[in-house]
Copies of this chain bind each other. A is one copy, B any other.
Amino acid sequence: MRSQSAHAELETGTASLRRRRISESTVRRLSVYYRALAALDAEGYHTISSQELATRERLTPAQVRKDLSAFGSFGTRGLGYPAKELRARIGQILGIDREWNVGIVGVGHLGSALVSYREFQKQGFLIKALFDNDQRKIGSNHKGVTIADIRDLGAEIKKQHLAIVIIAVPAAVAQSVCDLAVAAGVKGILNFAPIRLKAPSEVVVRTENMAMELEFVSFHLAQHLTRESSASLGNRPR
């Protein structure tokens, strides 16, 4: 579709990074590999085969190789992949080889939990700013970060170069927070409000809905129950 393809044949064989489209599931699995490799590295593995990585995470070796090959050739035939190096490389791909300044909007139960979430810090997501509209909260300190007035969201995004904003406000106001953030130049949004946010396509929006995750569980439980139509364990129709 791109005029580039015209000279595709002429490419040098040198690690030609063909921009194949990367699927969402591939990205998720990269995150999985990244964690698995940390564990394997800690266990003393220097080198790891797609086979070993796959068995650990209940995937197929071919899947692992396909996922990785979309970004380059990181392995050695006959040997496998160098654990440390591969992990670093995946970190680069996932964009966690750098630091990202992150703001959290909405310091309710969930918002405050996220401030203290260790994994974020560990991967270079630095919570630099907190916002709320509750006057009683504004000005108070949370893990070394002072809660700012949500009315200053735009200004602070610019001043502190916040690239990512986590939305942890009620559904009713989530879209307006999103609009403000986008207008101020935020590039990525992680949204915990249970609605679909509208944002320009160049802004990366990811919505996470914990109620849906539980529904996924209850769906399967309900399926089992109706299939087996047996033993009810602590649930009754309402």
From A3-11, A79-87, A145-153, A203-211, the one touching the partner chain is: A203-211
Q: Is the CB of B94 within 8 A of A215?
A: yes
Identify 14 new A-B residue pairs, CB closer than 8 A, beyond the known A97-B237, A119-B211.
A27-B219, A94-B215, A94-B219, A95-B220, A95-B225, A96-B215, A109-B117, A119-B209, A160-B234, A161-B234, A187-B224, A187-B233, A189-B217, A204-B224
Q: Say yes or no: A215-B161 contact (C-beta < 8 A), given A117-B210, A208-B210.
A: no
Q: Is the CB of A204 within 8 A of B221?
A: yes
Q: How far is the CB of A5 from chain B (nearest CB, A)?
A: 17
Q: Say yes or no: A238-B97 contact (C-beta < 8 A), given A119-B194, A214-B164.
A: yes
A98 within 8 A of B: yes
A54 within 8 A of B: no
25 A-B pairs in the complex with CB atoms less than 8 angstroms apart: A28-B212, A31-B209, A93-B219, A95-B222, A95-B223, A96-B215, A97-B237, A98-B237, A100-B221, A101-B234, A108-B113, A109-B115, A114-B210, A117-B211, A120-B214, A122-B211, A125-B218, A161-B233, A163-B234, A163-B235, A164-B214, A185-B233, A204-B221, A206-B217, A208-B210
A110 within 8 A of B: yes
A178 within 8 A of B: no
Contact with B along A149-187 (1 / 0, CB 8 A): 000000000001111101000000000000000000101
A196 within 8 A of B: yes
Q: Give the contacts of A27-65 with B (CB-CB under 8 A).
A: 27-28, 30-32, 34-35, 56-58
Selected from B28, B210, B217, the residue in CB contact (under 8 A) with A204 is B217
Interface size class of A (residues with CB under 8 A): 35 or more
A112 within 8 A of B: yes
Q: How far is the CA of A89 from the CA of B53 in the complex (A)?
A: 41
Q: Is the CB of B164 within 8 A of A219?
A: no
Contacts of A134 in B (CB 8 A): none
Which of A58, A220, A223, A224 lies at the interface centre, i.e. has the most chain B CB atoms within 10 A of its CB? Answer: A220
Which of A161, A162, A185, A219 lies at the interface centre, i.e. has the most chain B CB atoms within 10 A of its CB? Answer: A219
